[in-house]
Amino acid sequence: MQKQTITSIQKAKGIKKLTMITAYDSLFAKLFDEEVDFILVGDSLNMSFAGQKDTLSIGMDQMLYHTKAVCTGAPNTFIICDMPFGTYINEITALKNAISVYNKTKADAVKIEGGAEKANIIKYLTQNSIAVVGHIGLLPQNVRADGGYKIKGKDKENIEKLIKDAKAVEQAGAFMLVVEGVKSEAAKAITNAVNIPVIGIGAGVDTDGQVLVWSDMLGFFEDFKPKFVRQYLDGATLVKNSVKQYVQDVQNKNFPSKKEIY
Ligand code: KIV
C-alpha cells in the first residue's frame, strides 16, 4: 500500500474505505507497515501497554518515545501521534507540544480529543503548519469528568451536537476525524455532514474507515473486550502456550538441542 498524503486522504472520502491500526513500538509497527493507511500511536498505550486503568497518566515524553519507535518501524505508513491529556490546554501549550512531535519524531500528524470547544486549538495548530486529526464522540480523556465511558449519539439532540462538533473541527482545519463510541446512525449523520474522512471506532459501518487498537484486534489485551472489537487472532493464548512449551523444554532438557549450541 502506498503511503497516504494529506491530498490522497482528502480524495479518498466516498471512494475507498480507510484503515487505521494503533501501534506502540517498532516491532509491531514493522509488521503493520504498508498494510494499513494509517498507524495511530494512541494514548491507549497507557492502558494496554503500560497497564494503567485509563489514558490520563501518560505524558508527552512517553508519547514521543513510543512515536519515535513506531516511525522507525513503519517508515512507509502515515503516522499519527495522540496528544496526551493536559498537553493542549491552550493554544501556546498545544503548539509547543505539537512542535516537539515534529521535531523529535517523524510523525505526520497529531490527534486531539474534543469538538467545538477545541476548535481554537485545532485552528492555531493548523495555522502553524501542524496537520491535525480531530476526535469526537466518546472521549477517553474525559472518562473521569464524564463518570465513565458513555456511548454518545443516543438522541436527536446529542446527534445534532456531534454534527456541530464535527463541522467545527473540520472548519478549524483538521484533515480527518476519528469518531469513537457513538450509535451507528449518529456516525452516519456525522460522516455525511463533513467533507473530511471520518474514521470510526465502535461507530458502525457507515464511516469512511475504521480504527482498532492492535492489542484488542490481535487478542493480546485480555482485561476487557469491548463489543465493537473483532478479534482476528488469539495472541494471548498463542503466547502463553509458547512460554509454557519453552519452560517444559528447558525443564526436560529438550532445549537447547545439538543444533542450537555452539
Ligand atoms: O488512543 C487510541 O488508541 C485512540 C483510538 C481508540 C482511536 O484514540
pLDDT tens digits along 217-226: 999 998 888 9
Cell, residue 80: 499519527
Q: What is the band of 30 on the pLDDT scale with cuts at 50, 70, 90?
A: very high
- Percentage of the chain modeled with pLDDT above 90: 97
Cell, residue 17: 474505505
Name the DSSP letter for residue 151. Answer: -
What mean pLDDT, rounded, does the chain reach?
97
Measured from the Cα of 178, ligand 1's closest atom is: 7
180 is an active site residue: yes
Q: Which among 38, 47, 82 is the best mutation to test ligand 1's pocket, defined by most ligand atoms within 8 Å of the CB?
A: 82
Domain boundaries, the chain: 6-231, 235-262
Which segments within the chain are labelled E, that is strand?
Answer: 18-22, 38-41, 78-82, 109-113, 132-137, 176-180, 198-201, 209-212
Q: What is the pLDDT of residue 8?
A: 96
Q: How far away, in angstroms, is 43 Cα from ligand 1 center?
A: 6
Q: What is the pLDDT of residue 223?
A: 84
Spatial separation of the C-alpha atoms in residues 115 and 169, rounded to whole Å: 6
C-alpha dist (Å) from residue 31 to 60, 116, 169, 191, 207: 25, 36, 32, 30, 25
Q: What is the pLDDT of residue 225?
A: 86
Cβ 207 under 6 angstroms from ligand 1: no
Q: What is the pLDDT of residue 222?
A: 86
Angle at which helices 91-104 and 60-73 pack, to 10 degrees?
30
Q: Is the predicted pLDDT of residue 144 greater than 90, yes or no?
A: yes
Q: What is the band of 260 on the pLDDT scale with cuts at 50, 70, 90?
A: very high
CATH superfamily of 6-231: Phosphoenolpyruvate-binding domains (3.20.20.60)
Cβ 201 under 6 angstroms from ligand 1: yes
